[in-house]
Structure 1
Amino acid sequence: MIRRRQCTTPNRIDIHLFSLLTSLLLLTGLTATAQPASRATPSLSGTFQFNGTTRTYVLHLPATYGQHKQRVPLVLAFHGGGGRSGRFETLSRLSEEADKEGFIVVYPDGMLSQGALSIRTWNAGKCCNPKASLGRQADDVGFVSALIDDLAKTYRIDTKRVYATGHSNGAMFCYRLACELSGKIAAIAPNAGTIQLQQPCQPARPVPVLHFHSKLDKNVPYQGGFGSRGISNQWNPSVDSTLSVFGNLAHQKATRQTVETTPVYTHYRWTKGDSNVSVECYLTEDGGHSWPGGNQGAVLSSDPPSSLPANDLMWAFFKRYTIP
């Protein structure tokens, strides 16, 4: 079931939960925003039944969708732990990019916890909330696979050009999709999250990766380890070790090479010789645990976004790849 959706102001938080919720949201950097995204067309709210559970999502069709009969690419955009689809749409500004470039973007919601805060998370393997998707053993990979199939029945989606991006816990989940759903995901672009699998990554095909991260991220540090903010107490592999896994899947014994260095970012690539599968990273000097080029969260202690135009870089990367 799908219905039209307009952006709404989030409900007030009870004062006795405010402190705890603020700490949790620092894990994700994804809270309600002060500035709504500008879009040419409204987004749609939808529900989907999977394994006896009602799952929800927000879908945005580009402004040009009704002007032609061609199949169009689909981008899956996953919020961070404690986030939700509508907030992530506004923070990431991906619907604006979709209108500009002509792709469909869907923002699924993670499983809802049973606690007082009712947070949503993704089952990325080892992360992140034992009372939500991980503790309930949610088959989020199966859900995403079924959601792609369901949307393709209703909309003109080019199933050879389906991509995944996400923030924090959503980024961690992107890596799981690259390992376990490579037959349906053409490329991924995670932000501020690293791999959290409990078993080796063995994709059916190497998946291209474009990773975004800030040197100032205190929730998921670039060098790995425990973040100094947030309440998840989650140990994180480093970005370099994560990308080495995917670099070696694409090119045996891949090494990190510097492509470009500017005052704002350093662009790295993991490579060895010629290959059609690229593994890259933009490491920024500014920002933090936030969406590069997006809107800043409304919580006073949330990180400002990097000035890096991540959405433009992401789409330029995505459109280079199709599923063979």
Structure 2
Amino acid sequence: MLVAPLLFSCRKGKPSTKTYRFTETMQVDGLSRKYVLNLPPNYYEQSGFSLVIAMHGGGGSAAQFESTSLLTQKANSAGFIVVYPEGTGVINTWNAGTCCGPAVTNNINDVKFISMLIDKLIASYKINPKKVYATGHSNGGMMSYRLACELSTKIAAIAPNGSTMVVTQPCNPARAVPVLHMHSKLDQHVVYTGGYGNGVSGVYCPPLDSVFNVWSLKNNCTTTKQTIFSNSNYTLTRWLNCTNNVTIDYYLTNDGGHGWPGGLPGGPNSDIPSTSINANDLLWSFFQQYQLP
């Protein structure tokens, strides 16, 4: 995990010590919610930074996802701010709808947490409010979809990985939301063809085709899905001619499993991630195409 040097403050109007990394908490509905924030090396010389919200999978943590996704390294080299919020429970989970675990059982309002976190970070750091994005793995990817449904006025685009959409309320975004989805054919935890899998016990995961059908309707895409690229490593499917020129991009790899493409295994017994694509490169290239109106 990267530990950036301490120089002098990143807070607006506080010319004390400059810091590039923070592990902080905020109170939401009586709960102390944790997050890890990383500022890129050029933070003090520039302004109008993009913010990427990166959410861990069920049972993960902010520190774990930062370490295994390698997203901080990408953020530092590309020059964007990344925040790793943390779920709740003894085994950290997100309330993405029907999944997962204690967050659902306890009806944790994770949408409120992320909304408040966005407001706090925009008020405290040099972030362009039109350039806020969400990504996540597994349960964190599911949470990305819920945010796209409920916080489309704050989040410009999403990039879920190894996940599906499990919202329990009708998805009614206020605007068309660009979607980049990454998945492996070999993922047996969240199976791309739908079902119960072996990673989210008792939770039915809708097939991805149905998820993309929902978003193509929500985004008013008039062109049916098209295969943009396909080889022995992966297939890229895209939905075009959508409102405000947004797209839905779907990368399906033939290698890997339930892991972050181009990253490290999430734990000692986790799948080896795909090497056919690099999630960090793809999501940053995708996010740069979009901002809020």
Cα drift, residue 199 of structure 1: 2.0
Q: Which residue of 2 aligns with 1:123?
A: 95
| SS state at 2:44 partner | helix
Cα drift, residue 231 of structure 1: 5.4
Cα drift, residue 262 of structure 1: 2.1
User: Where do 1:207-246 residues align within 5 Å?
Assistant: 207-227=177-197, 229-230=198-199, 232-246=201-215
Matched, 1:149 2:123: no
Matched, 1:92 2:44: no
Is 234-243 or 269-278 further displaced after alignment? 269-278
RMSD: 1.6
The separation in 2 between residues aligned to 1:241 and 1:176, in whole angstroms, is 15
With over 3 angstroms needed to count, the CA separation of the structure-2 counterparts of 1:201 and 1:254, relative to structure 1, is farther
Letter paired with 1:291: W
Q: Which residue of 1 aligns with 2:35?
A: 57
Matched, 1:180 2:150: yes
Please list the CA deviations of residues 170-205 of structure 1 after superposition, one character each: whole Å capped at 9, or x if unmatched: 001100000000000000000011000112211100
Cα drift, residue 230 of structure 1: 2.8
The separation in 1 between residues aligned to 2:223 and 2:172, in whole angstroms, is 17
Higher relative contact order (CA 8 A, sep 6+): 1
Q: Which consecutive segments of 4 or more residues in structure 1 shift more than 4 A? A: 37-42, 272-275
Q: Tell me, yes or no, if the aligned pair for 1:214 and 1:289 is still in contact at 8 Å.
A: yes
Identity in percent: 50
Cα drift, residue 107 of structure 1: 0.3
Q: Tell me, yes or no, if the aligned pair for 2:216 and 2:242 is still in contact at 8 Å.
A: no
Q: Which residue of 2 aligns with 1:304?
A: 272
| SS state at 2:211 partner | helix
How many residue pairs match? The answer is 278
User: Where do 1:98-117 residues align within 5 Å?
Assistant: 98-112=75-89
Q: Which residue of 1 aligns with 2:287?
A: 318
Q: Tell me, yes or no, if the aligned pair for 1:244 and 1:270 is still in contact at 8 Å.
A: no
With over 3 angstroms needed to count, the CA separation of the structure-2 counterparts of 1:178 and 1:273, relative to structure 1, is closer
Cα drift, residue 272 of structure 1: 4.4
Cα drift, residue 263 of structure 1: 2.0
Q: Tell me, yes or no, if the aligned pair for 2:159 and 2:283 is still in contact at 8 Å.
A: yes
Is 95-104 or 249-258 further displaced after alignment? 249-258
The separation in 2 between residues aligned to 1:63 and 1:164, in whole angstroms, is 21
Please list the CA deviations of residues 46-91 of structure 1 after superposition, one character each: whole Å capped at 9, or x if unmatched: 11111221100111111111222x1201000000111100000011
Q: Tell me, yes or no, if the aligned pair for 1:220 and 1:289 is still in contact at 8 Å.
A: yes
Q: Which residue of 1 aligns with 2:25?
A: 47
| SS state at 2:225 partner | strand
With over 3 angstroms needed to count, the CA separation of the structure-2 counterparts of 1:154 and 1:90, relative to structure 1, is same
The separation in 1 between residues aligned to 2:242 and 2:196, in whole angstroms, is 35
Q: Which residue of 2 aligns with 1:255?
A: 224
Letter paired with 1:237: P
Cα drift, residue 253 of structure 1: 5.7
With over 3 angstroms needed to count, the CA separation of the structure-2 counterparts of 1:233 and 1:40, relative to structure 1, is same
The separation in 2 between residues aligned to 1:195 and 1:77, in whole angstroms, is 17
Cα drift, residue 233 of structure 1: 2.4
The separation in 1 between residues aligned to 2:139 and 2:132, in whole angstroms, is 20
Cα drift, residue 310 of structure 1: 1.3
With over 3 angstroms needed to count, the CA separation of the structure-2 counterparts of 1:252 and 1:64, relative to structure 1, is closer
| SS state at 1:62 partner | coil
Q: Tell me, yes or no, if the aligned pair for 2:135 and 2:158 is still in contact at 8 Å.
A: yes
Letter paired with 1:124: A
The separation in 1 between residues aligned to 2:3 and 2:249, in whole angstroms, is 29
| SS state at 1:65 partner | coil
The separation in 1 between residues aligned to 2:33 and 2:267, in whole angstroms, is 26
Q: Which residue of 1 aligns with 2:14?
A: none
Q: Tell me, yes or no, if the aligned pair for 1:248 and 1:254 is still in contact at 8 Å.
A: no
Q: Which residue of 1 aligns with 2:135?
A: 165
Please list every run of 5 or more consecutive structure 1 residues that lacks an aligned counterpart in the other structure: 1-36, 113-117
Please list the CA deviations of residues 214-239 of structure 1 after superposition, one character each: whole Å capped at 9, or x if unmatched: 00000000101110x23522110111
| SS state at 1:213 partner | strand
